[in-house]
Amino acid sequence: GENVEQHPSTLSVQEGDSAVIKCTYSDSASNYFPWYKQELGKGPQLIIDIRSNVGEKKDQRIAVTLNKTAKHFSLHITETQPEDSAVYFCAAYRRSNYKLTFGKGTLLTVNP
Amino acid sequence: DAGVIQSPRHEVTEMGQEVTLRCKPISGHNSLFWYRQTMMRGLELLIYFNNNVPIDDSGMPEDRFSAKMPNASFSTLKIQPSEPRDSAVYFCASSPGLAVAPYEQYFGPGTRLTVT
């Protein structure tokens, strides 16, 4: 089955700095890569996604990149703010079995 | 619009007791997923339904776990008998449907289960 590795497990940045979280996946049949943000005591919330036929996607301060050849994708957050502090999960979706496989998560702390 | 609703939010029970977790998906969504989250194993898919029919239950850890979806607006996850290692946060998620946008999953707030 699919295996998604996520790094780093924790990340601490100063407000205004950029944050980068990286993931790799194993199954070349995966074709959709969402990112979720989970705040304390809440369920994961979809914040951005990228399809396998796209290399990069941006939404305000958030961007995702995908390298299908290398099987890795990344989340970039610019101009970080304290409210960006949360656990971020990457995931890979395989159309053939409709399953999302999640990475283990990254605890991002933005220090004011 | 109301999101995915789960109840109870917290459940504390003794080993051996039956536990039932409940979920109401987003209205109009045809797919429903149950996940378990622990520090050690992260987010694991237990089972998912499409149009109220279980499609894949390969993630259900043991026969002690069972899930039902009697109609489009309600699902239950039952653990009988419960064990301390079942302690986790259980999430329900729904999506527009496997034929529409199966990858867009919307999560509920979760049920934190503690088995003593």
What's the gap in Å between the CA of A106 and the closest CA on chain B? 11
Closest chain B residue by Cα to residue A5: B42
Cis peptide before A8 (omega within 30 of 0): yes
Which residues from B are below 8 Å from A104, CB to CB?
Answer: 42
Residue range A9-64, pLDDT digits in tens: 999 999 999 999 999 999 998 989 999 999 998 999 999 999 888 789 999 999 99
pLDDT of residue A81: 97
Closest chain A residue by Cα to residue B47: A99
pLDDT of residue B102: 67
Nearest alpha-carbon partner for A74 in A111, A103, A39: A103
pLDDT of residue A1: 79
What's the gap in Å between the CA of B72 and the closest CA on chain A? 19
Closest chain B residue by Cα to residue A33: B103
Residue range A85-96, pLDDT digits in tens: 999 999 999 877
Q: Which of B95, B100, B103, B111 should we substitute to test contact with A (largest number of A Cβ atoms within 10 Å)?
A: B103
Q: Would you call A34 helix, strand, or coil by DSSP?
A: strand
Query: Mean pLDDT, to the nearest integer, of B86-90?
Result: 97
Nearest alpha-carbon partner for B71 in B49, B48, B102, B95: B49
Query: Given the DSSP bridges, would you call strands A99-102 and B106-107 parallel, antiparallel or unpaired?
Result: unpaired
> CB–CB of A103 and B42 under 8 A?
yes
> CB–CB of B105 and A102 under 8 A?
no
- Report the sign of the C-alpha dihedral through residues B28, B34, B38, B41, in that order: negative
Beta carbons within 8 Å of A58's beta carbon, 6+ residues apart = none
Which residues from B are below 8 Å from A32, CB to CB?
Answer: 103
pLDDT of residue A82: 96
